Each structure stands twice: as structure tokens, then as C-alpha cells.
């Protein structure tokens, strides 16, 4: 993680997104095995929700990244691909915002 100037962790839920860590200091927090971040992360990975609002999380990441003046910003999205037509349209809208602001967005499909 030394090469990443910033690391943000945002979890999409069926209500609103949970921002677990943001910014430069978050890298140090992730190195701490007793950090509450790990508890939250594994809870949501082990108890996936349905009808999540992924577009809300992408929007929050977009807002955070837009305030940074790095040459390149990345958003990695882990997704199971289960969303309805309305959420798909919202996701595409938020992805377009990122692309138009030179924020690279990379989707990683998960399945179980």
C-alpha cells in the first residue's frame, strides 16, 4: 500500500453507504489487525445484503476523489451483479461522472 497516496473504503448497503476509512491515514489503520475496520468489512462480506445502493457508494467515492488533485484517481468496485434496472441506470450515471472527471473506475465481479 505504500504506492497508494490515499485509500478509502466505502461499503454499499441497502440503506446508505458506510464510509469506513478515508484518506492518507487510512493505510495505517488497515495495518492494525485490531482495527474496527476489519470487523465491519468481514461482517458485510459474510452477511451480504440484497438490493444494495451501489450508486450511492460510487457517488460518495466520486465526491471524495474529486477533491483530490492527484494525476490519476481510481475507484475499485467489488460487485455481485445483482441489481435492478433502476439501480443499473443510477450506477451507469455515477460511472459516467467518474469517467468525465478523469477518475478511473474498475469493476470486479464477485459470485458465491
Question: Taking 70 as the threshold, does the pLDDT of residue 32 lie above it?
Answer: yes
pLDDT digits (tens, 9 = 90+) for 54-99: 899 899 988 888 887 766 788 888 777 778 889 899 999 999 999 9
Q: What angle do CA 41, 7, 42 make, to 5 degrees?
A: 5
Q: Which domain holds residue 104?
A: 9-109
Q: Answer whether residue 72 is part of any domain.
A: yes
Q: Answer whether residue 2 is part of any domain.
A: no
CA-closest candidate to residue 62, choices 17, 112, 110, 108: 17
Q: Give the number of domains in the chain.
A: 1
CA distance 37 to 9: 9
The model's pTM is 0.78
Q: Answer whether residue 42 is part of any domain.
A: yes
Lowest-confidence region among 5-14, 40-49, 89-98: 5-14
Amino acid at each position: 500500500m505504500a504506492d497508494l497516496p490515499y485509500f478509502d473504503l466505502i461499503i454499499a448497503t441497502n440503506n446508505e453507504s458506510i464510509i469506513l476509512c478515508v484518506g492518507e491515514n487510512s493505510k495505517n489503520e488497515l495495518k492494525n489487525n485490531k482495527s474496527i475496520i476489519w470487523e465491519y468489512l468481514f461482517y458485510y462480506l459474510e452477511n451480504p445484503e440484497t438490493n444494495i445502493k451501489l450508486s450511492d457508494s460510487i457517488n460518495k467515492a466520486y465526491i471524495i476523489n474529486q477533491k483530490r488533485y492527484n494525476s490519476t484517481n481510481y475507484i475499485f468496485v467489488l460487485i455481485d451483479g445483482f441489481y435492478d434496472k433502476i439501480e443499473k441506470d443510477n450506477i451507469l450515471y455515477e460511472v459516467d461522472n467518474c469517467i468525465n472527471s478523469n477518475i478511473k473506475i474498475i469493476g470486479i465481479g464477485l459470485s458465491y
